[in-house]
Amino acid sequence: MLMHPEILDVVRRALNEDIGTGDVTSLACIPADRRATGVFLARQPLVLAGVDLLKLIYDHELSILEHDGAALEDGARIATVEDNARTLLAYERVALNFLQRLSGVATLARQFASAVEGTGCRVLDTRKTTPGLRRLEKAAAAAGGITNHRMGLFDAILIKNNHIAAAGGVRRALENASKSGLPIEIEVRSLDELREALDCGATHLLLDNLSPAQAAEWIGIVNRRATVELSGRIDLTNVRSYAETGADYVSSGTITHSAKAVDISFRLELL
C-alpha cells in the first residue's frame, strides 16, 4: 500500500504545502553542514499507525523501531532518522501530523475492538473519513484491530433509504442491484421493509438508528437468514450493548471522523 499512487500523492502534497519554497527558519539559523539525529517518541499510551510513511518523508538512515498496530507506552521510541539538521526539521511537522492523526485513529479503533471482545461481533469503519486520507485512515483503523468496510462507492453495493426511494421500493432496488454481481447490503427502516427484504432473498441487512432492545428484536426476526450490521449513534459508551444483540457487525463513523490526534514528539540530537 505504501507505494500506492494516492499515498505518494498525499505525502508529496503535504510536504509541498508545508515547506513551499523552503524552511526559512532553519535556513537562517542552522549551519548548512550541521548533522543530527531525530527521534520520534510516544508521549502517551497509544496504538501506532502510519509509521511506514516515514520512509516516504525521510530517505536517509531511517530506523523504524515499532510497527503499525503496536501498543506503546509513554516514552516509547518509535523511529530514529539521521540526516542534515535542516532537512530533519523541514520534514518534522508533516511526519508528526501523519503519525499523530493516524495513530489517533488506530488508538480509538483498538478501544472499540476491545469493547466488543468476546461477543462474536466485529466492528466496521465507514466512509466518514478525512477527504484525501481515506486509504490511510482505513489502514490505521485496521491496525487498531477493526474490520474495514467498503473503500468507496465502487467496490460494494449499499442500498440506503434514498436509494430505495429513488428505485421505487425495497424489492425493486434489490432486483435492480442483483444484476451487478457485486456484494449487496440493504438498509431497512421498518419491520415491513425488513420482512420484504428477507422475502426478496437479501443476505446482508443494515439496521440503522435502533436502540439495543429494538435491534435484538429485529435480529430475532431475521433468525440468521441474513448477516446483520447495526449503525447509527454507536460510540464507545454503547457499542458493547449493540454487539450483545446478536449482530454480526456494528459500524461507527466515530472511529475516523472523531478520533483525537495522539501526542507524539520529535527530539533532535546533534551528532
Distance CA 155, CA 148 (A): 12
The cell numbers describing 173, all together, are 432496488
In the chain, DSSP finds a helix count (H) and a strand count (E) of 11, 12
Active site residue: 68, 187, 193, 229, which one?
Answer: 187
Distance CA 236, CA 243 (A): 11
Active site residue: 43, 55, 77, 128, which one?
Answer: 128
Looking at this protein, which amino acid is placed at residue 254? T
Active site residue: 43, 93, 122, 135, which one?
Answer: 93
Q: CB under 8 Å to 136, separation ≥6 — which residues?
A: 7, 10, 50, 53, 98, 102
Distance CA 271, CA 267 (A): 13
Q: What is the dihedral of CA 95, 259, 146, 137, to 10 degrees?
A: -40
**Residue 160 designated active-site:** yes
Strands, sheet with 77-84, edge to edge from the N-terminal-most edge strand: 62-64, 77-84, 35-42, 264-270
Active site residue: 196, 208, 244, 263, which one?
Answer: 208
The cell numbers describing 210, all together, are 435502533
Radius of gyration of the chain (CA): 23
**Residue 93 designated active-site:** yes
Distance CA 187, CA 241 (A): 20
**Residue 187 designated active-site:** yes
Q: CB under 8 Å to 35, separation ≥6 — which residues?
A: 82, 83, 84, 85, 270, 271
Active site residue: 43, 77, 160, 171, which one?
Answer: 160
- Known catalytic residues? 93, 128, 160, 187, 208
